Every structure is written in C-alpha cells, then in structure tokens.
Chain A
Amino acid sequence: MKKNFLKIGILLILFAVLIFAKSISVSASAGLYFNGGYKLVSNKGAALTCETQNPYVASGSVSTAWAMTCNQSLEGQNYAQVGWCKFDGWSKPKYFYEYNSDVTGAHDHKDFATAESESHNDFMVGSDSTTMYFKLNGTQLGTVSLSTLNWTPDTVEFYGEVHDTNDQCPGSVSNPVTMGNAQYKTTSDSWVSAGVTEDHDLSTMDNNIDTGDTTWEIWDTRY
C-alpha cells in the first residue's frame, strides 16, 4: 500500500516538474526582443538605411527591422515606424509601415510585397507641420495626419526585433544585417546624424555598436 502511494507520488512529481519546465520555457519565449540602438531626443522623424534579409520566424511570430519615431513620456504605445518585416507563414519579408496612438486609439499597418533579400533600402518616417509620412527609397508609402496621432516624438529607435526567442534576429554571424546612416529630423526641420546608444535583449543577439555610432551591424549568434 505504502509502495503504491510512493509510486503514484513520484509519478505526480515527475508530471509536475515536466509541466513546470514547459511553463518556464514558454514564458521565456514570448515577448518583444530588440537588437540595435536608440536616441532620446525631441524629433520630427527617423531615417535609416537598412539591409533586408530573410530570417527564420517561429510559429505565430515576426522578425523585423525598422526605424521609428515615438513618444516615451505619455503612457502607452505611441509610435510610427517603417522597415521590413516577415510574419510566420510568409516565404519572404515585406516592406511595411505602422503607427499607433494610445492617445487617440488609432492603429494602422500596411505592408507591400515583396522586400528583396540582401537589398539595402532607405526607410524614413518624418513629419511636417500637419502630416507624418512614411517613405521607402524616397517614395511615399503612406501618410497620417498628426491630429490622428496626437503625440509629440521624443525618441528615435533603430532596431531588429523578434517576438519569440526561437525567431532569428535579423542577420547571421557570417552575414550580419547592416544598418547605416541613422538620422533624425530636428524640431527645426533638419535631418542630422543620430548617434545611438547600444541596446540588445537576448544572449543570442549581438551587434558591433559603440556609443554614438550611426552605422553598425546586427546578427543572431546561432546562425
């Protein structure tokens, strides 16, 4: 009788340990993980020349690289970005722009087939007095009125990003993704260099950014 209890107990402990292990692995995999640089500065836009690659993407996730102007002082998600992205299920990445305002509730995303792997493209998100625009190699992809956003940019960001630790961060050891000519638009409407501060989340992410750099490379150490 005692032996049976012991056996059942051991089996249940094993079951519990297995479930816990799965729990830990799942909670470690989902999230937002960044590799790149940022600059905290009042601005009217961000621009970056960025290489496109075709990374591995885990189920229900996305791997992406972009330039962004955003607001950090208000609560919530207030940003506008342009770059390339590859969602799970796509054979190739696509160019995209996206914006969000937790002030007004606006959220739009648009993507365009197809982003050429290994190509280097100029991404720009900027604003004039009334409108924010999104450009690819100087061609306008879309606009949104500033009143639809209703937030003031105070940060520019230039990142590769994944939503799952199993995603490939853009770039590999032998073929990193190049990000260059990082710029921001000043509040007096001049485009100037955006020397960034390095930032990455995962041990599988790496880059060669030194503080103040405007050109660098990012990669996934597993590839």
Chain B
Amino acid sequence: MRKGMIIFLIVTIIIGVCSFVVVSAHTSYNVVSPTSSSQESLSNSDMQEFYRRIGDFSIEIRTADETPTLTEEEAIEIAKKDVRGRIRNEAESIMAMYVKLTDRPGGKNSPALVLPGTNIVMEDIPVWIVTFHGADILYVGPGRMFNSNGEPITINVDPYVYGDLNIVIDANTGDVLETFSYSIPKP
C-alpha cells in the first residue's frame, strides 16, 4: 500500500514537472522590453549595413547642426516605449543618431513623402534615429498558407525576425514619425 502511494507521488511529480516544461516552452515568446540604457556604437560593418539599408527604404540622411530640443536620452526612452511590444528579447545594442532625414519613396528626384495621416513633408526633418541592433522583432506576415490542394492550412511559425529596428523620432516634438526594420544574419 505504502509502495503504491510512493509510486503515485512520483508519477504526480513527473506530471507536474512535464507540465511546467510545456508551459515554459509555450511562454518563451513572452515579450521583454529592452532594458539596456547604455548607448553603444555599431561596428563598422554594422554601420555600413545601416547606410546601405536606409537607401533601400528610400531614406537619405545628412548631418544636423542645430541643437535638438529632445536629448539623446529622451529619444531613447521614447523609442523604448514604442518598441516594448515588438521586441522579444533585449537588443544587442542601442544606438541613437541625430540627423536630418529625407524620405523619397518615389526615388531620388521625386518629391518627399507627405507623412500619411499628417501634413509633415519628410524633407530635411531633424530626427533621432534610434537603432535597436540585433533584436528579435515581431512582424506582421506571413499571411495564410495553403497546402498543395489549395486548402488553407494552419502553420506554426515564430513571428519574430532577427534584425535591426529603427525608430525615427522628430527631434523637436518627440513624435515617432516612421519605423523601419530589416533582417540581419544571426551572429
């Protein structure tokens, strides 16, 4: 009888431990806001990638001379608040850059973008670009998938991509104007 009780207890404990493992696995996607407050510099190769990629997003940047209303620390805090639901783990580094930004989605000689929902013309706007480098970023896609018979199927994908998330903040008002992100190779 006593032996039976002990076996019963052991089985119950095993069930409990297994359940805990299952829960841990399922909750591993919980979002953790980036907490690093240190501002770091990207490596030369990361900077080269940054400059190459902003071109892909039709963004041009140039040096800004005026003193911004918003400090670097304030810009980083705004950016952290904006991305808190989108980044799963802490970013490898956070960098802030004060520049004048122009966005010409139509190409080099096209007019600058009028920011949707506003009357802001995205030309030579003093901004802080806060870069969360090396982060797991929540994305929107991939949409419905289908099997070879053309029937909708349910897929189990990790909706995060490893990359750089850039928050463009108006350096005078503190408004988040644009966000752009791109995948990078995992180290």
Chain A residues with CB under 8 Å of chain B are: 1-2, 5-6, 8-9, 12-13, 15-16, 19-20, 22-23, 26-27, 30-32, 34, 38, 40, 57, 59-62, 64, 66, 68, 70, 72, 77-79, 81, 85, 87-90, 94-96, 98, 100, 105-116, 136, 139-144, 155, 157, 159, 161, 163, 199, 201
Contact = CB atoms under 8 A, between A and B. Distances in A.
B150 A40 contact: yes
Contacts of B139: 98, 100, 107, 109
B182 A107 contact: yes
Contacts of B113: 112, 139, 141
Interface of B: 1-2, 5-6, 8-9, 12-13, 15-16, 19-20, 22-23, 26-27, 29-31, 56-58, 81-86, 88, 105-106, 110, 113-118, 137-146, 150, 152, 154-157, 159, 161, 163, 175-183
A163 B154 CA distance: 13
Contacts, number: 194
B57 A30 contact: no
A62 B142 CA distance: 13
Given A30-B26, A87-B138, A107-B163, A95 B117 contact: yes
B131 to A, nearest CB: 14
A61 B175 CA distance: 22
B172 to A, nearest CB: 15
B144 A113 contact: no
A98 B180 CA distance: 10
B180 A12 contact: no
7 contacts: A40-B146, A59-B30, A79-B143, A87-B85, A98-B140, A111-B178, A114-B118
